Structure 1
Amino acid sequence: MLKDIFTKKKKKRRYATIPSERAKQEVPEGLMTKCPSCRTIMYTKDLKKNLAVCRTCGHHHRMTAKERIAALVDAGTFKEYDQDLIGKNPLDFPGYEEKLASDQKKTGLNEAVVYGTGKINDYPVVIAVMDANFRMGSMGAAVGEKLTRAVEKAIETKFPLLIFSASGGARMQEGILSLMQMAKTSVALERLNRAGGLFISVMTHPTTGGVSASFASLGDYNFAEPKALIGFAGRRIIEQTIRQELPDDFQTAEFLLEHGQLDRVVPRLEMKSLLTDVLAIHSVAGRRGSPSHVSG
């Protein structure tokens, strides 16, 4: 009897089970996200609440243009312009129109950049945000035109201009017409400079090719997100050309900062606060809602 009192019940052995195909199908697609940096698996909803920054390692996941605008611009203040401006297929590139239609359906955007006016902590701005989910954010004629109109809107309103770049470079399906956008956007920014306007450029992952070689590098302030890939030619092409091995951190935001090509590497969760400080410095007499200017 005493033996029965002190005898521990044997625990049932538990075996790992492999989810059935039915169970797998019942898990909603996109519910979980695995961080490509630290391999942590997290709820996608929780990741988005943290502005797509991994809480474990700080890896900055890709954001859509609409998500970035929502994270930065005061609620109810953003007004989009030229939403229906769409590029064509000037070179009759095979399959190009179908690819555009596919990306339009996938992203809900008509092109790889969204621009408009809004306020950041009550400071008015013109903001343009590129979306790498649309043709890898490549810059064709329509993207170049929208960016140029964003610059012109900044000149007209005397609001500071913010451009968030995310691009694989020029859009190959539009050939030379795509390359012309480098000069077009750069000339527009020179007009903004002569008008005394303020341009803040923020480079995100990736900012490469003709975008990095034109408007993205012409800011009065050049910022970037941590570990963003920023550069013109690819690493392998450069190594083959100069016949030298490049550093492991070559073409990262941190490398560019160390070599004087950036003003600051800014974590995404600190971006709105920093932009507010910069806008406050350049506002007339520090009054919120006043036009901004850059002295001499």
Structure 2
Amino acid sequence: MSHYPAAGTWTSCPACGRHVHQSQWGRWQQCPYCHYWQRLTANERLTQLVDPESFEALNSGMTTQDELHFPNYTEKLAQARATTGQAEAVTTGWARLANWPAMLIVMDSHFMMGTLNTTVTRKIIAALQQARQRQVPVIMVTASGGARMQEGLYALVGMNLILAEVARFSAAKLPLITVLTDPTMGGVSASFAFKGDIIVAEAGAKIGFAGARVIQQTMPTVLPAGFQSATSLLEQGQLDAVVARPQLRDYLVTILASYQQSGRPQHG
């Protein structure tokens, strides 16, 4: 019999490097030593936010194709699907939070760093369109490294396509709540992540365009402490709030309830 612990029993905290037992991370997936928040999968995020058994995924039937025949892209897609159990880097669907209806758009950094590609773009647009038809608010949780390089210009075009649909959604006088989580970077932060009517960041999130190391090598410059942190962006007036993970659901419920009480109808 092996005296070594079962695989996955202990993990090293990405922030402080301490060994943390799986039971110590707790429900909110936070390091007990330095309070670093682990990155959540889309399913974990939905479990924490929505009413039990209320999530109804949109059946898009969309699959990603290697249109540019980028080397090893097909293999990377297959690996990402196998390790995450997801078809792509975003999950969309109807849900309720404290019985308030909403469309949820949740990006997943575990699937090729949550990068934006043609399929992710189409799924986000379809979710916004259906929410507009039903007159239901949208909660968009971002977690992305930016546009997917394996799809080149096709991925970059997605930024403007989503922005155009966000504009149509806004014209319908429906609320878009964006929740920026770790990481929200690149083309996602440069386009739709900051287009919400209410922009919230999860505590501990890193948010920006280019990474700090790239900026320092390019300029060069000395970046201030806390650069690209959620707290720093709040201080600069770029966010409406920074909310710790355990309070995030209640915060979103309050927003949805306020919208309902303003007299706008919501159809579940």
Q: TM-score range by the shorter chain?
A: over 0.9
State which of 119, 124, 137 in structure 1 corresponds to 2:114: 137
- Structure 2 unaligned residues grouped into runs of 5+: none
State which of 133, 153, 159 in structure 2 corresponds to 1:156: 133
Q: Secondary structure of 2:81's partner?
A: helix
Measure how far apart 1:138 and its partner are: 0.5
State which of 187, 190, 194 in structure 1 corresponds to 2:171: 194
Residues in 1 aligned to 2:130 and 2:23: alpha-carbon distance in whole angstroms: 35
Q: Secondary structure of 1:30's partner?
A: coil
Q: How does 1:16-95 map to 2 (within 5 A)?
A: 22-24=2-4, 27-47=5-25, 49-82=26-59, 84-95=61-72
Tell me if the contact between 1:53 and 1:268 (Cα under 8 Å) persists in the aligned partners. Answer: no
Tell me if the contact between 1:84 and 1:110 (Cα under 8 Å) persists in the aligned partners. Answer: no
Residue 6 (structure 1) aligns with: none
- Structure 1 unaligned residues grouped into runs of 5+: 1-20
Q: Secondary structure of 1:119's partner?
A: strand
Does residue 262 (structure 1) correspond to residue 239 (structure 2)? The answer is yes
Does residue 99 (structure 1) correspond to residue 76 (structure 2)? The answer is yes
Tell me if the contact between 1:226 and 1:267 (Cα under 8 Å) persists in the aligned partners. Answer: yes
TM-score, normalisation: structure 1: 0.85
Residues in 2 aligned to 1:285 and 1:190: alpha-carbon distance in whole angstroms: 22
Structure with bigger gyration radius: 1
Measure how far apart 1:234 and its partner are: 2.2
- What is the letter of the counterpart of residue 33 of structure 1? T
Residues in 2 aligned to 1:99 and 1:260: alpha-carbon distance in whole angstroms: 38
- What is the letter of the counterpart of residue 53 of structure 2? G
Residues in 1 aligned to 2:208 and 2:52: alpha-carbon distance in whole angstroms: 34
Residue 223 (structure 1) aligns with: 200
Residue 291 (structure 1) aligns with: 266
Q: Secondary structure of 1:231's partner?
A: coil
Matched residues, number: 267
Measure how far apart 1:285 and its partner are: 5.2
Tell me if the contact between 1:280 and 1:286 (Cα under 8 Å) persists in the aligned partners. Answer: no
TM-score, normalisation: structure 2: 0.94
Measure how far apart 1:30 and its partner are: 1.1
Measure how far apart 1:249 and its partner are: 1.1
- Percentage of identical aligned residues: 39
Tell me if the contact between 1:82 and 1:146 (Cα under 8 Å) persists in the aligned partners. Answer: no
State which of 157, 163, 172 in structure 1 corresponds to 2:149: 172
